[in-house]
Structure 1
Amino acid sequence: MNRLLPTNAALQLLRYLSQQLGQLEYDAEKHRLLLPHEAGDATLYFRLPLTIASPVQGKFAMQQPVNYIILLIQSGNCALGYFENGRNLNHKVFRSYMVRKKQGKSQVKYLKTKGKSRAGSRVRLGETLEFFENINGRLQEYFEHHTIDRIAISCSKTLLPYLYSSKTETPFTKSDPRLLKIPRHVHTPIYEVLLDTNRYLLRGELVFDEQGRERATQLLEAAGITGLQHTPEEDSDSWEEDQEDESADEDVFYDEEDEEEDEMEW
C-alpha cells in the first residue's frame, strides 16, 4: 500500500521527520528513508522526490539543485532525457527492429533460450547492437556537457548486459551510486511515458504494509498532510516482477521474408 505525495507535501513530511525523529536510516540505492515502527517487522518507508539531493552527514539540503537522467529501455524502444530540477531540457527516443515475428519475443531473449536463429535474426541482432550504441552515445553527450547527480533507470535484466557491453561505452558503471531503479512498471518508452515517469519521480511516496498503515496515517496527520488517496495501481510491491517480464508491452516487428530464411548458428 502507498500514498503518493506532491513535491511540496513530500518536503513538508521530510521536514517533520527530520525535526521530530532526527537522523533517519537512508537507503541510497532506492532514495528512501526507512521509518521506525513499534512493530519490528512492519514495512514503512518514505521514497523521496528525485529533486531532493542525497543527505550529507545525515542532513538534507532541500534547496540544492539536482540534475538527472531518466533512461527507459525495453526491447526495441528507448526514451531518455536530461532534467534539471524536474524540467526536461533534452530528450531522445530510439526505436529498433529487434522483436521476433509473431512470438513478440525479443531476439536476445530468443537466443538465450534457443541458441539458434535464422539469417533474418542477424539483422535484428545488428540493430540491437546499434540500438545500444545510440543510447550510450546520447548518454555520453549528457555526461560530457552536464553534471549528473542521479540516473533513474528502467531496464530488464535481460537487456542490461547489452547496455554495459556496447561498443560505445556507457558513461557509468552498473555499480554507480547515482543509479536509481525506477520502482514501478513502465509502459512502452515514448516521450509521453518519459514525462509521466518524471512526474512520478517528482512525487514522494509513503509505502507501508497492513501493519504500518496506522503509523503512516499518524505521520501524515502529524505533519499536517491530509486529503491523500491510496493509489493501488501505483503500488511498488510488484515492480521488480514487471521488470522481469516486459513482453506484454513489446511492440511486434517482423519481416514477411523470415519464413523462407535459412537457419544458421549465431
Structure 2
Amino acid sequence: MYLYNPSVRNKQQNMNRFIPAQVAATLLQSLRSSSIRQAYDPEKHRLLLMGEDGLELVGFRLPITSSYHNPEGGRKQNYVILLIQAGHCAMGYFENGQCLNHKVFRSYMVRQKQGKSQIKYLKTKGKSRAGSRVRLGETAEFFENINTRLQDYFQAHRIDRIAMSCSKTLLPYLYTSTVPTPFDKRDPRLFRIPKHIHTPIYEVLLDTNRFLQRGELIALTEAGFAAIPALEDLLLHHLNADAAQDDPETLNDIADEVYVTDEWEEDDVSFDEADDEEDDIVDWD
C-alpha cells in the first residue's frame, strides 16, 4: 500500500518517489485545483511545481496513460513504445497500458571483435572491406523494418503518445530511412523515456511500460518535497485517504496488464554491453 509517512521524510526527501497510476490521478486532480504555482512540460509529460518566485521545486512525471488536460480520465490513451539500440529494437502498440501488438528486431550491425556498431566504427576508422558493406546494408534494412511497423501502427490507430529511447548516433538513421517515419523529431507527442534502457527485448519492453504507467515525484532542490508544504499536505490527507479505500494489491502494483503477444522474433539475443554506452536519454534539439 502506498502511504505517505512524514516521519521518514528526512530520509527520503531527496529521493524520487514512484506512485501507482490511480494514486497519481488523484494527486493530479488535487494539484490542478490547488493554489500551488505550476506549469506543464509536455515534452517530459510532467508537471513542474514552483515557489512564489517561480523557482522549480518539484517535478511530477505523469503516468503515460494520464492526460494533463483531462485529469478525470475518459478517453483511452493509445501509445507506442520504441526502444532502439545498435542491432536491437523492441517496439509495441499499447492501449491504456495493455500491449496489443509488439515486435522485436535484430540486425547484424555490431563488429564482433571490437564490440562496436558499424556506424560508430565509421566515425573513427572509415569504411572497411566486405564486412562493413554487409553491416551497413543490415543497418538500412533494420530502420526500414522499424518504420514499416510504425507506419502500420499509425495507419491503424490513433496515437496519443510516442515514448522513445534511442541514442543520438542512431536517430538520424531512423529519420532518414527510405521508409519514412510517421512522425518527425518535433512531433509534440514524442516523449523521451527518462530511464536507462538495457538491450531491447520483449521483457525490457514490458518493464518499460510498467515504469511509464507509474507517476513519479522528483525533488528538484535539496529541500525535497518539504519545499512545498501544500504538497506535503496533499500527500498526507488526500493520498492516504484514497489508499485506505482501495485494495492494497492495486496500490502496491500498477493496474493489471494484459499482454497479447504478436510475432516473437528474437533468436538467441546476445547482450552487448559495449554497445549500451550511448543509449541513455538524448537531447533531440
Question: TM-score, length-normalised on structure 2?
Answer: 0.75
Deviation at 1:101, TM superposition (A): 1.9
Aligned to 1:110: 121
Q: How far has the Cα of 1:183 moved from its partner?
A: 0.5
Instruction: Supply the distance in 2 between the matched residues of 1:61 and 1:224 (Cα, whole angstroms).
Output: 16
Task: Map 1:1-266 to 2 at 5 A.
Answer: 1-21=15-35, 24-37=38-51, 41=55, 43-55=57-69, 60-209=71-220, 210-214=222-226, 215=228, 217-225=232-240, 248=273, 250=275
- Structure 2: gaps of 5 or more residues: 1-14, 253-270, 277-285
C-alpha root-mean-square deviation of aligned residues, in Å? Answer: 2.5
| Identity percentage of aligned residues | 62
Give the Å deviation of 1:9. Answer: 1.1
Deviation at 1:115, TM superposition (A): 2.3
60-69 or 27-36, which deviates more: 60-69
> How far 1:41 moved relative to its partner?
4.5
Q: How far has the Cα of 1:37 moved from its partner?
A: 3.0
Post-superposition offset of 1:213: 3.3
Q: Distance in 1 between matches of 2:176 and 2:131?
A: 23
Separation in 1, partners of 2:178, 2:162: 21
Amino acid at match of 1:98: M
Give SS of 1:116's match: coil
Kept in 2, the 8 Å contact 1:72–1:80? The answer is yes
Give the CA deviation at 1:36: 1.8
Q: Which moved more, 1:8-17 or 1:138-147?
A: 8-17
Rate the CA distance shift 1:207–1:247 in 2: closer, same or farther, 3 A.
farther
TM-score (norm 1): 0.80
Give ranges in structure 1 of 5+ residues lacking alignment: 230-245, 252-266
Count, aligned residues: 232
Amino acid corresponding to residue 67 of structure 2 in structure 1: A
Contact in 1 for aligned 2:25/2:71 (Cα 8 Å): no
**1:81–1:89: structure 2 CA closer, same or farther, 3 Å change rule?**
same
Task: For residue 224 of structure 1, give the secondary structure of its aligned residue in structure 2.
Answer: helix
